[in-house]
Amino acid sequence: MTTPNEELSALSEKGLLRQLRSTRPRPSSQLYIGGTELLNFSSNDYLGLSKHPALIDASRQALSEFGTGSTASRLICGSLELFHELEELLAESKNTEAALSFANGYATALGAIPALVGKEDTILLDKLAHACLIDAARLSGATLRIFPHNDLNKLEKLLISSKGRTLIITESIFSMDGDRCPLAEIIELKEKYGALLLLDEAHATGVLGPTGQGLAEELQLQGQIDFQMGTLGKALGSAGGYLAASRSWIDLLINKARSFIYSTAPPPAQAAASLAALKILHSTEGVELRNKLHCHCARFNSLSPIIPKIIGHNEQALSASEKLREAGFYVPAIRYPSVPRGTARLRITLSAAHSEEQIDLLLAAL
């Protein structure tokens, strides 16, 4: 039997050991690690909302009114109006009949996907999909077929031979590459073969679309997607996850999604902050923040705020990250299993919280 220390040494030898580094509170564009102040190019706080006064005030008010915890599942202890208000605004934003919120994005996937499909069914999953989508697909017991990243030909072949209820799962902006799925073409295929589509907008929420609802909103395709999923923890600056769909699918989730039923509801203050963030997305301030973010992206010739610099070897990616750190920038090295073996990389994320000057400094350093 191997010991944990032997496992840790094996990880370390492969350059795959991960360690926590303690930090201190700083403005969103900065990070304090290892005793130094660094410019932060690692967070998913794309609009800088995690430090926004409106979110802080809303959380404070909810704390005073409701206390720190929800104390039980919403099916046990009653369901606060606040959660319903959040879900109604989510549904309206996503142009669906209903939405359900969860404690985080991971719990959304783990609860929702096994409630939507089971043993008799088929999941078709993009190769580069996020870990929580893979775990949820496995947990569902459905036959799991993986298609090469954004490969429509292969997806169509799998659709032809799939059994039972068929659920295609993909992301709008991919978390480690920053590229998009061919959404219109995927919708065409899912309609042709009568399949369902779950689109994870984790990195596009707040970033794309006229009111920041994501790629589906940008392409005016919201009405053709069965399940729009996302997190409230990235651009929305709070914590939580959601799935927006028709009323009957959401009612089914309330009855079947185990991470919703068997888990204490998130703190009311978390829902209050998310609601405040969503309202900002719909405001002119939201438009301005998104415009600023897109100007930053344009400096990098990028359509998304996620910019990968693929290096290959784990050790080389780590040392590139270390060099940037010495120069005053925090740009994390991302390794297997977050990305495929041999594609270790620097992952730069941009935010409206960055100034133009900070963007220029990073460009010069790279």
Ligand X SMILES: *Cc1c(COP(=O)(O)O)cnc(C)c1O
Other beta carbons within 10 angstroms of residue 284's beta carbon come to 8
Q: Is 41 a residue that touches ligand X (CB under 6 A)? A: no
Q: Is 233 a residue that touches ligand X (CB under 6 A)? A: yes
Q: Is 111 a residue that touches ligand X (CB under 6 A)? A: no
CB-nearer residue toward ligand X: 133 or 158: 133
Residues with a catalytic annotation lie at 44, 130, 171, 175, 200, 203, 234
CB-nearer residue toward ligand X: 106 or 330: 106
Both tokens assigned to 364: 């010069």
CB-nearer residue toward ligand X: 349 or 358: 349
Give the rounded distance of the alpha carbon of 101 from its chain centre: 14
Q: Is 200 a residue that touches ligand X (CB under 6 A)? A: yes
Give SS3 for 355: coil
- Residue 73's contacts (CB-CB under 8 Å, 6 or more residues apart) are 260, 261, 262, 263, 264, 265
Q: Is 82 a residue that touches ligand X (CB under 6 A)? A: no
Segment near ligand X (CB under 6 A); pick from 3-11, 74-82, 86-94, 104-112: 104-112
CB-nearer residue toward ligand X: 332 or 358: 332
Segment near ligand X (CB under 6 A); pick from 2-10, 99-107, 158-166, 270-278: 99-107
Exactly one of 104, 140, 166, 213 binds ligand X (CB under 6 A); which one?
104
Q: Is the dihedral of CA 55, 61, 64, 69 positive or negative?
A: negative
Residue whose beta carbon is closest to ligand X: 105
- Residue 282's contacts (CB-CB under 8 Å, 6 or more residues apart) are 93, 211
Q: Is 50 a residue that touches ligand X (CB under 6 A)? A: no
Q: Is 306 a residue that touches ligand X (CB under 6 A)? A: no
Exactly one of 42, 45, 105, 181 binds ligand X (CB under 6 A); which one?
105
Distance of alpha carbon 174 from alpha carbon 304, whole angstroms = 10
Both tokens assigned to 154: 């292969």
Exactly one of 41, 46, 106, 227 binds ligand X (CB under 6 A); which one?
106
Distance of alpha carbon 317 from alpha carbon 16, whole angstroms = 11
Give the rounded distance of the alpha carbon of 277 from its chain centre: 15
Contact 205, 230 (CB under 8 A): yes
Give SS3 for 52: coil
Segment near ligand X (CB under 6 A); pick from 50-58, 61-69, 101-109, 301-309: 101-109
In the complex, the smallest distance separating the C-beta of residue 310 from ligand X, rounded to whole angstroms, is 18
Q: Is 347 a residue that touches ligand X (CB under 6 A)? A: no
| H/E element, 258 | helix 258-261
Residues 119-178 that bind ligand X (CB under 6 A): 130, 132, 171, 175
Both tokens assigned to 95: 């142009």
- Where on the chain is the footprint of ligand X (CB under 6 A)? 104-106, 130, 132, 171, 175, 200, 202-203, 231, 233, 241
